[in-house]
Amino acid sequence: MKSLTSWFVLIVSIAVIVSSCAKSDDSITGSTDNTASSLDDSSESIYADNGTTFKVTTSGGKYYLDGTQTKSLNLKKGYTYYFDSSDSSTNSHPFYIGTTSGGGNYTGEYTSGVTSSRTTTGTLTFIVPSDSPTTLYYNCGNHSGMGGTITFH
């Protein structure tokens, strides 16, 4: 009987080890939920899902994406992302993507794959080109220091 118990414990232990080592595909690309909440600081995802919409608001001279101040984004080349600036707090803060982090003007504005750049009340759509830089920034055209970093994979 002791030998049977030992074999049972061994088999269960192996099963636990194997299942803890296995990872689902969702841990690599994020969940299939197409909201920005599918990628957060606690996620194992390396980039936001295709079709993700980020809700843009402003407060205290900073942009907030989905409620997080100057949130850093990890996006994938070839994917499409939406930046919803319909909140009234963005009315005097034209949202654009740039090659520099300054803001306050449109120096270095990045327009490849971007529609509705400089939006204050609509949605900026960004279809990330395969040849995009590794790092870009989201900025305000009227004020410096409001934005954050976008890293591409």
Q: What pTM value is reported for the model? A: 0.71
pLDDT exceeds 80 at position 36: no
- Quote the pLDDT of residue 26: 34
In whole angstroms, give the CA distance from residue 71 to residue 149. 7
Give the pLDDT score at 95. Answer: 98
Instruction: Kindly indicate the confidence band of residue 15, based on its pLDDT and cuts at 50, 70 and 90.
Output: very low
Q: What is the pLDDT of residue 38?
A: 40
pLDDT digits (tens, 9 = 90+) for 51-85: 999 999 999 999 999 999 999 999 999 999 999 99
Dump the DSSP string for the chain. Answer: -HHHHHHHHHHHHHHHHHHHH---THHHH--S--BGGGS-TT---SSPPTT-EEEEEEETTEEEETTEET--EEE-TT-EEEEE--SGGGTT--EEEESSS-BSS-TTB--TTEESTTBSSSEEEEE--TT--SEEEEEESSSBT--EEEEE-
Residue type, 117: S
Higher pLDDT, 113 or 15: 113
Tell me, what amino acid is at 33?
A: D
Write down all domains in the chain, each with its CATH number in brackets: 47-152 (2.60.40.420)
pLDDT in tens, 94-136: 999 999 999 999 999 999 999 999 999 999 999 999 999 999 9
